[in-house]
């Protein structure tokens, strides 16, 4: 099936259950059924270009976002907490308030990127969290650090809308790998942050009258500010606005523009917010995503503390953080590619959730540093692909732009609430029994919810298949087939979930 045919979908030979004609105006990326044909050469070329222009831009935006947010974990080992005279509770509050800003601003951000010039919105957001990171180097009090972390959360919240933005450019069965492209930069950010921390700790301590942890924030914040300008110049608009340009930077070829036209028509429909809130699957997926995201967030911020607690010297700790991130990067790419190649989400998610459970059990049982680092690598190898897969699964399982955005925002509220929880439960070093134990319980519950989620999706598809077969046997056509996904969301008679 041509992914770009916006007028009808014809049944494949022998497929009697599929409606004879389905009008899909305003379908955006919500392809109704999994494709059965190969991509054309023109489509492959467009996908490669879109990967470079859209995914690469957002991937690097995630890189700088995670570089800046995670720097506080390295800075703590380098003396930030002592220099500012912060108690453990006050330090954890500075981590907590970041997630509050993040959760509050992400919802409005979905609206801003639709109404205003999206590259400008993303550039300003990157500038905000870049400046906040840089100014952290000059924080002198608890209040200074608290305010800067709040504004960093405001800025980074907009970057998280990238999953919905990217979903406007792709078929939903392609989203797992695209999500991995975005998230592949996050373990890289963690590893590079460790290298930068190691370098400045060795070579810049005291240089220019600044501590090493101050140089860490100056370097990473300044780099983010430069990146904000690149976003403003290079990032394309949302598809319909990009096509409306008389002199587009990237998509000039008429064939490319014809293929992109499939995404036109997705608009803000506030009634779809209610639809998302009433959908139990949205809430289940939010919990699943939040569990994996909390594992990722907890380790990205507290990993230096975990490793240092094993008795590793502060300078060597920065290098040891690279090991779990390297494992996470390899696992993320491998698992998400398999997920997309097989067009399956449930089985990979169940496997990585099970691996995370094993990892947390080992962490709780271990007593040696080497075993602890190994167990940390097991957990990161599970949660990074888990976050990537579910981040692509959520937008591709909610038809209609506003429902998709609302589902993503609900998910992010869960994620930030869980991340706030993580900042409070990981407060009993050196073994962190409470934090690891709570997350172990969450992952066990997530394992069960994945099975329930798949059952609900499978039942939904079977009910529509049965109705389609009954109508076809009577020679009738479902009157809702002529409506668009923007009008009916998941209730469109030809919409099927991918699981």
pLDDT of 115 = 82
pLDDT of 5 = 36
Structure tokens at 257: 């523009």
pLDDT of 241 = 78
Q: What pTM, to 2 d.p., does this model score?
A: 0.72
- The answer to whether the beta carbons of residues 131 and 149 sit under 8 Å apart is no
Q: How far apart are CA 485 and CA 478, in angstroms?
A: 14
Structure tokens at 318: 């920065």
- The answer to whether the beta carbons of residues 18 and 461 sit under 8 Å apart is no
pLDDT of 257 = 72
The list of the chain residues with pLDDT below 50 reads: 1-37
Number of Cβ atoms within 10 Å of the Cβ of 433: 12
- The answer to whether the beta carbons of residues 99 and 423 sit under 8 Å apart is yes
Structure tokens at 457: 């999706």
- Domains along the chain with CATH numbers: 41-240+268-475+484-491 (1.20.1250.20)
Non-local CB neighbours of 424 within 8 Å, separated by 6+ positions: 92, 96
Residue range 19-28, pLDDT digits in tens: 333 333 333 3
pLDDT of 83 = 93
Residue range 76-112, pLDDT digits in tens: 888 999 999 998 888 888 888 888 888 788 778 878 8
Nearest 5°: CA angle at 458, between 355 and 379? 10
Report residue 243: phi and psi, to 5°. -70, -25
pLDDT of 430 = 67
Q: Is 87 exposed, middle or buried (0-12, 13-18, 19+ CB in 10 A)?
A: exposed
Mutual angle of helices 280-309 and 185-203, in 10-degree steps? 20
Residue 498 region by backbone torsions, left for phi larger than 0, else alpha for psi between -120 and 50, else beta = beta
| Residue where the block lists tokens 């995630």 | 62
pLDDT of 264 = 56
pLDDT of 294 = 86
Q: How far apart are CA 52 and CA 50, in angstroms?
A: 5
């Amino acid at each position: 099936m041509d992914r770009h045919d916006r007028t009808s979908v014809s049944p494949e030979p022998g497929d009697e259950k599929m409606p004879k004609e389905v009008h899909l105006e305003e379908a955006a990326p919500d392809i109704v059924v999994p494709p059965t044909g190969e991509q054309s050469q023109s489509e492959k070329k467009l996908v490669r270009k879109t990967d470079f222009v859209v995914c690469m831009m957002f991937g690097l935006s995630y890189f700088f976002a995670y570089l800046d947010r995670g720097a506080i974990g390295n800075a703590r080992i380098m003396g930030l907490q002592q220099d500012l005279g912060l108690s453990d509770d006050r330090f954890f509050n500075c981590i907590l308030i970041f997630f509050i800003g993040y959760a509050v601003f992400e919802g409005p951000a979905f609206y801003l990127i639709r109404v205003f010039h999206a590259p400008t919105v993303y550039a300003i957001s990157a500038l905000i969290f870049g400046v906040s990171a840089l100014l952290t180097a000059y924080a002198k009090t608890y209040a200074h650090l608290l305010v800067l972390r709040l504004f960093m959360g405001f800025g980074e919240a907009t970057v998280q809308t990238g999953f919905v933005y990217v979903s406007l450019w792709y078929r939903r069965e392609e989203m797992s790998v695209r999500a991995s492209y975005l998230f592949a930069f996050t373990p890289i950010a963690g590893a590079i942050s460790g290298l930068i921390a190691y370098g400045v700790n060795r070579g810049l301590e005291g240089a220019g009258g600044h501590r090493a942890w101050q140089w860490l924030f100056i370097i990473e914040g300044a780099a983010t500010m430069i990146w904000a300008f690149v976003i403003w110049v290079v990032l394309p608009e949302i598809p319909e606005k990009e096509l409306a340009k008389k002199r587009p930077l990237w998509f000039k070829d008429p064939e490319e523009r014809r293929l992109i036209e499939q995404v036109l028509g997705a608009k803000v429909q506030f009634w779809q917010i209610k639809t998302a809130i009433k959908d139990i699957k949205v809430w289940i997926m939010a919990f699943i995503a939040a569990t994996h995201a909390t594992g990722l967030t907890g380790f990205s911020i507290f990993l230096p503390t975990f490793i240092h607690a094993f008795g590793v010297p502060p300078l060597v700790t920065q290098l040891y953080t690279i090991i779990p991130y390297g494992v996470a990067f390899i696992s993320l790419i491998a698992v998400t590619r398999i997920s997309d190649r097989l067009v399956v989400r449930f089985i990979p998610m169940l496997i990585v959730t099970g691996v995370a459970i094993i990892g947390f059990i080992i962490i709780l049982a271990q007593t040696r540093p080497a075993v602890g680092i190994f167990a940390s690598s097991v957990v990161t190898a599970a949660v990074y692909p888990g976050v990537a897969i579910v981040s692509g699964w959520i937008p591709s399982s909610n038809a209609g732009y506003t429902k998709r955005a609302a589902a993503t925002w609900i998910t992010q509220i869960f994620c930030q609430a869980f991340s706030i929880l993580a900042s409070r439960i990981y407060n009993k070093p050196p073994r962190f029994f409470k934090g690891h134990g709570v997350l172990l319980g969450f992952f066990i519950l997530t394992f069960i919810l994945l099975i329930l989620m798949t059952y609900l999706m499978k039942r939904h598809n079977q009910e529509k298949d049965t109705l389609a077969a009954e109508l076809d046997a009577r020679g009738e056509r479902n009157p809702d087939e002529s409506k668009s996904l923007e009008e009916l969301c998941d209730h469109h008679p030809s919409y099927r979930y991918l699981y």
